[in-house]
Structure 1
C-alpha cells in the first residue's frame, strides 16, 4: 500500500475511535431514567423489586425451573395439605417482612426437607458400606430427616419474626422521640414522618415508610396507622399506631403522646431485662461456683499443703 493509503486508513481508524469515545461520553452524561423517576416514587414500598423491574431469569434458571418446578410445587401442595395453617404462615411472613407467598414458603420447606434427606441418605450409604443389614433403619432416618428439615424451616421463620420484633423494639424509642421533636418543632405529622423515615433505617422505619406511602396515595392518616396497628404483632407498636391515629383525628397533643409511649417502651425494656436476669440467676452462678470458687480454694490451701510436705520428715 502507498503511504497515502496508509494515511487514509489510519485517519479513518482514528476518526472511528473518536466517534465511539464521543458517543460513550454523551451516553454517560445523559441523566439516567432511574435518577429522573425514582425521586418521585421513593416512598412506594419495594419499588426496586417491582414485577416489571425484576431481572429476567436466564436460560439455565428457566430450564431448572421447568424441570424441578412441577415436582417441587406438587410436594409443596402436599406439605400444605398435611400441615395446614396457611393463615398463620401468611401472618408470620408479613411480620417478618418477607416478600413471599405461602406457596413459596412451602417450596422452601420442601427444599430444607430434601437437604436433610440428602444428608441422612449420605450417612446411610456410608453406613451400608460397613453394615449392609441396616437398610430399613437408614430409610426411617431419611424420612425423619426430611420431616425435621420441613419443621426446621417453620421454626426458622418464627425466629426471623422474633428477631425483627426485637429490632423494632430497639428502634422504637429513638424513632418516637424523633417524631415528637419534629412535631414539637411545628411540623405536621406527615412531614415529621417523612423526615424521620428519610433519616433512619431499620425494621420500624420500613413499616413507617409503608404508612407514609399509603398516606401519599390518598389514604387517611388514621386509617393508615390503624392498618399498621392491625398488622403489627407487638402490643407496644399497636398502641403507638393507635395513639397517633387518635391524636390526628381528635387533635390531641401528639408530641406528649409520643414522649409518653417512648418512655413506656424504655420502661418495658428495663422490666424485661430484670426479668431475664432473675430467670438466669442460677446460670450466672455456674461460672462462679465451678470456675472461680475452686481456683480461690486452691490458692488458699495449696501453700499450706506444700508447707506440710516440706515440714514432714
Structure 2
C-alpha cells in the first residue's frame, strides 16, 4: 500500500504541476495568439457545407491538451529533424496530412507509450514489493521513445504498403489506358475514362492529376507531380511515356503494354524471391522444434531401457 500511495501521489503531483505550468495566467502569450483576434476576421464556414467526419485521436488530443501537445510537437521536431524526409513520405502516402500533424501524432503515441510503461512499472512494483527507481525511469523512457519512434516507423510501413498497392494495380491500369488509346482516346481522355471506371490508389493518383489539370495546371506538370511523389520506378517510367506521348504525339499503346508486361515480370520475380525467403524461414521451426522432438521420441525408449537395465 505504501508503494501504491507513493505512485498515486507522484502522479497527482505531476498533474498539478502540469495544470499550474500551462494555466493561462502562467503561460507565455505567443505572437500568434496576440495577432489572432485582428487577423482571423473571416467568420468560419458552416459545418453543413463540409463532410461529416468522426473526430479522431489527433483532433481529440489537440482539443484537450492543446498547448502541451503543441509544445511537445515542436520539441520532437527540433530533436528528430528531417522535415524534408517526413514531407516526402507524407506526399508518397497521398494524404493531406502535414508535418505538424505527424509530430502531434508522435507526441500522442509517446504519451500512450509512457502511460503503458508506467502501468507496467506499477504492476511490477506491486508484485515485487519494492521500488527500483532506475528501472522504472528506464522503462518509462523506453515507452516514451518507443511511442515517438513507432509512429515514424508506422509511417514508413504505410508508404511501403501503398507503393506495393500501386505496383499491383499498375499492369491493369496501364492495359486499360492502352485499350482506351487504341480505341481513339487521347491521353487525357483515356486517363479520365480509366479513373472513372476503376478504383484503387493508382486510379486516385491519376484522378487527382486530372483534376489539377482541369483546374488550370498543365497536364504534364500534374502527371510529373504524381511521379515525384512516389519512389516507384515503374510509375516514373509510365509518367515519362505519357509525357512523351502528350508532347510529341508518339504512339502510346505499345509502350503501355510493354510497361505492364515488365511490371508483371518484376512481380513474378518478387514472388519468387519472397518464396525463397519464406522457405528459409520455414526451416527455423523444423530445425529447432520438429527435429528435436523427433530425436527425443526416437531416443527416449532406448534411454528408458538402459536405465531399467542399469537398476
TM-score bin (small chain)? 0.7 to 0.9
- 1:81-135 per-residue CA deviation (whole Å, 9 max, x = no partner) reads 0000111111111111232110110010011111110011112222332333312
Counterpart check, 1:105 vs 2:102: yes
Alpha-carbon distance between aligned partners in 2 of 1:110 and 1:62, rounded to the nearest angstrom: 13
Counterpart check, 1:155 vs 2:158: no
Quick check: which has more Rg, 1 or 2? 1
Alpha-carbon distance between aligned partners in 1 of 2:168 and 2:90, rounded to the nearest angstrom: 20
Alpha-carbon distance between aligned partners in 2 of 1:256 and 1:73, rounded to the nearest angstrom: 53
Distance 1:86 1:141, change over 3 A: same
Distance 1:51 1:83, change over 3 A: farther
Cα offset for 1:222? 2.1
Alpha-carbon distance between aligned partners in 2 of 1:66 and 1:197, rounded to the nearest angstrom: 38
Counterpart check, 1:141 vs 2:139: yes
Alpha-carbon distance between aligned partners in 2 of 1:227 and 1:122, rounded to the nearest angstrom: 46
TM-score by length of 1: 0.72
- 1:127-147 per-residue CA deviation (whole Å, 9 max, x = no partner) reads 332333312321221011100
Counterpart check, 1:95 vs 2:89: no
Higher alpha-carbon deviation: 176-185 or 221-230:
221-230
Aligned to 2:112: 115
Q: Output aligned runs, 1:120-269, within 5 Å.
A: 120-129=117-126, 130-269=128-267
Cα offset for 1:267? 1.1
CA RMSD, 1 decimal? 3.1
- Please say if residues 76 and 103 of structure 2, whose CA atoms lie closer than 8 Å, have aligned partners that are also in contact: yes
Distance 1:110 1:51, change over 3 A: farther
Alpha-carbon distance between aligned partners in 1 of 2:88 and 2:213, rounded to the nearest angstrom: 23
Alpha-carbon distance between aligned partners in 2 of 1:105 and 1:51, rounded to the nearest angstrom: 28
Distance 1:210 1:57, change over 3 A: closer
Alpha-carbon distance between aligned partners in 2 of 1:227 and 1:63, rounded to the nearest angstrom: 33
Cα offset for 1:79? 0.4
Distance 1:276 1:66, change over 3 A: closer
- Gaps in structure 2 of 5+ consecutive residues: 1-46, 303-311
What secondary structure, in the 3-state scheme, does the structure 2 residue paired with 1:187 have? coil
- Please say if residues 178 and 256 of structure 2, whose CA atoms lie closer than 8 Å, have aligned partners that are also in contact: yes
TM-score by length of 2: 0.72
Cα offset for 1:54? 4.7
- Gaps in structure 1 of 5+ consecutive residues: 1-49, 306-313
